[in-house]
Amino acid sequence: MDMNNSSQDAQAQFFVGIDLGTTNCVLSYRSISEENAPVQVFPIAQLIASGQVQELNQLPSFLYQAHETELAPGTTVLPWTQQPNALVGTIARQMGNKTPMRLVASAKSWLCHGGVDRREAFLPQSGQTDTDDIDKVSPLKATELYLAHLISAWDHQHASAPLAQQQVTITIPASFDPAAKELTAEAARNAGLKQVTLLEEPQAALYSWIDSNNDKWREQVELGDLVLVVDVGGGTTDLSLVSVTEHNGNLDLERIAVGEHILLGGDNMDLALAYRLKMNLAQQGKQLQPWQVQALAHLCRDAKEALLSDSNLTSVPIVVPSRGSKLLGSTLKTELTQQDVQQTLVDGFFPQVAVTEHPVQSTRAALTQLGLPYAQDAAITRHIAAFLTRQNQAQNNHDDSSSFIKPTKVLFNGGVLKSELLSKRLLSTINSWLTTDDSKGISALTGVDLDLAVSRGAAYYGFIRHNITNNNAGVRIRGGIANSYYVGIESAMPAIPGMAPPMEAICVAPFGLEEGSHVQVENQEFGLVIGQPVQFQFYGSNTRREDSVGTHLDFWMPEELEELPEIQMTLDAQQGRNIGDVVVVNLAATVTEIGTLELEAIAKDNGQKWHVEFSVRH
């Protein structure tokens, strides 16, 4: 769903890239009119403390629901307003360190959680009983508020070029499901942005690498190279494979694979460090309440970043918030050490494992607290091993589980991998797999700022997209959708007691179908039930790469197709049709510019059309 139109195009002065990160948001831009204009990062004005405003390259993705007694009148003034609608950014992060039950964090992770209603106001999620005075927001609303702050900050500096009139690209994890993509686009529309395109974060990082190296990027890769993009951010680990190909005699790039959605990143690491300190305190006879562990995780985030950025720093003191209980006294002090960080993060999240060691799925308890569906196995190296093994099977279409696809280059992205300690461990682990397999070692592509690359790459993508549309030079990463998609078809068979009619599947969007494409299922007719409640069952596959539009499956292995949440709806009975009629239809599908799928059923007798948006899970 591309929200551009020609009248707005004429008013746009900038290509803008927005990284809506789990931990930080970044906004970058590039002039449309200047041919060789550089991509620049926009300093975002924000409150850093009560009454203090500062411009920073990053806007922390936090929302704080302050109590009326916490801030004195006039202390939340921003350059563009006396009374902001929400406290977001650095001040929210700082205040939330002390009172975490009022802090909304990880809204992006909740936005892609299909097990909750992402439009329902349930954040901040807290087990506390004394939080009735806190205004709850939905993951969708929190995302809108971050965007609203970015828009206000930009418009204050660019009164003649408001953000709503610019060519905006917003980045999302490559593994975002269609619903999360659509919700991101919806948040942008609700915030007032009219011209929005979505771009996968690993691709954005690669675009930033191309831009920062100019034409010399071709000197770092050669034809046949396979680039593994490893993006470990605040909330997710995003994996992609990009092949270096040739087009019209020039090197070209094609994204050939995307990993599963892995909710594993900096948030998990902060929590792991917090529990390590909690156990240390417990050994001293000091017990923490759940809200204090939550606060400790936020404090560990800052301490972790300090220790990872300075190997000479031995420890960082931490003061745990207290409500003055007799057990704990007025303050509780501890410290996070360099040893804590190395043992917990390096060995816990980046263990040196064999490529045959894949994520371990343990048996879960029947009852669990409602929360984010974090990855059960915290070892990022095991997830990468599984991804490379799975893609080898997908690319070669065989079941050789002992081998893995062998990348020749790696591009790191995400704040976690800024740490040389962690990036070196990850690189050495991948190289150990290749060496054991008698393959050439892998090297890292250089020249990107891991904090800012995604936003910068998104702005550069806007420029590339504009150039290609106007037949100018430009390197665009080709790829299309990262999965094949199928719609379920109920078998026509006599009723059998105790057995539902078996489902078959028709491929309506094959792997790699480019955004903006429209395809038809040729020479096949189906019956469509109208006028009464029905359900559409969709399936996705990231391994069946060879299926074409119309491929008919009446049997598949469980690992081949993933059953996606069904869509329930009632299709209108119009134009003289009756409730319950079965209309003979042909099927067509469109992949929109934001990568979502729209299924179209076309009546054979009169061309009447019904549309099903696969992108939204009801």
Q: What is the pLDDT of residues 18-38, one digit of tens each?
A: 999 999 999 999 999 988 899
Greater pLDDT, 524 or 115: 524
Burial 536-567 (b: 16+ CB within 10 A, else e): bbbbbbbbbbebebbbebeeeeeebbeebeeb
Cβ neighbour number for residue 22 with a 10 Å cutoff: 24
Query: Lowest-pLDDT range, 210-219, 266-275, 541-550, 590-599?
Result: 590-599
What are the structure tokens assigned to 14, written together?
A: 């900038």
Greater pLDDT, 408 or 540: 408
Per-residue model confidence (pLDDT) at position 130: 54
Helix axes 290-309, 90-98, angle to 10 degrees: 130
Q: What is the pLDDT of residues 592-603, one digit of tens each?
A: 765 678 899 999
Burial of 310 (0-12, 13-18, 19+ CB in 10 A): exposed
Highest mean pLDDT: which range of 171-175, 451-455, 572-576: 451-455
**Structure letter (DSSP) for residue 67:** -
Q: Is the pLDDT of residue 560 over 50?
A: yes
Q: Is the pLDDT of residue 84 over 80?
A: yes
Q: What is the pLDDT of residues 287-306, one digit of tens each?
A: 998 889 999 999 999 999 99
Q: Is the pLDDT of residue 134 over 60?
A: yes
pLDDT grade for 131, boundaries at 50, 70 and 90: low
Please state the separation of Cα 144 from the chain's center in Å. 16
Q: Is the pLDDT of residue 431 over 80?
A: yes
With H, G, I as helix, E, B as strand and everything else as coil, classify residue 403.
coil
Burial of 526 (0-12, 13-18, 19+ CB in 10 A): middle
Count the alpha carbons within 13 Å of 13 in the hemisphere toward its beta carbon: 8
With H, G, I as helix, E, B as strand and everything else as coil, classify residue 567.
strand
The residue among 211, 271, 205 whose CA lies nearest residue 235 is: 271
Per-residue model confidence (pLDDT) at position 470: 59
Q: What is the mean pLDDT of the chain?
A: 88
Whole-number CA gyration radius for the chain: 25
Contact criterion met (CB below 8 Å) for 419 and 342:
no
Q: What is the pLDDT of residues 185-230, one digit of tens each?
A: 999 999 999 889 999 899 999 999 999 998 788 889 999 999 999 9
The continuous run of DSSP H or E covering 443 comes out as strand 443-444
Per-residue model confidence (pLDDT) at position 128: 55
Rounded-to-integer distance, Cα 150 and Cα 153, Å: 5
Contact criterion met (CB below 8 Å) for 146 and 88:
yes
What amino acid occupies position 240? S
Contact criterion met (CB below 8 Å) for 111 and 144:
no
Query: Lowest-pLDDT range, 90-94, 175-179, 375-379, 483-487?
Result: 175-179
Rounded-to-integer distance, Cα 243 and Cα 257, Å: 9
Burial of 339 (0-12, 13-18, 19+ CB in 10 A): exposed
Greater pLDDT, 500 or 73: 73
pLDDT grade for 6, boundaries at 50, 70 and 90: very low
Please state the separation of Cα 477 from the chain's center in Å. 18
The continuous run of DSSP H or E covering 98 comes out as helix 90-98
The pTM score is 0.84
Rounded-to-integer distance, Cα 151 and Cα 191, Å: 8
Greater pLDDT, 176 or 516: 176
Greater pLDDT, 498 or 261: 261
What are the structure tokens assigned to 133, written together?
A: 């005075």
What are the structure tokens assigned to 253, written together?
A: 């790039």
Greater pLDDT, 441 or 326: 441
Per-residue model confidence (pLDDT) at position 328: 43
Rounded-to-integer distance, Cα 598 and Cα 580, Å: 23
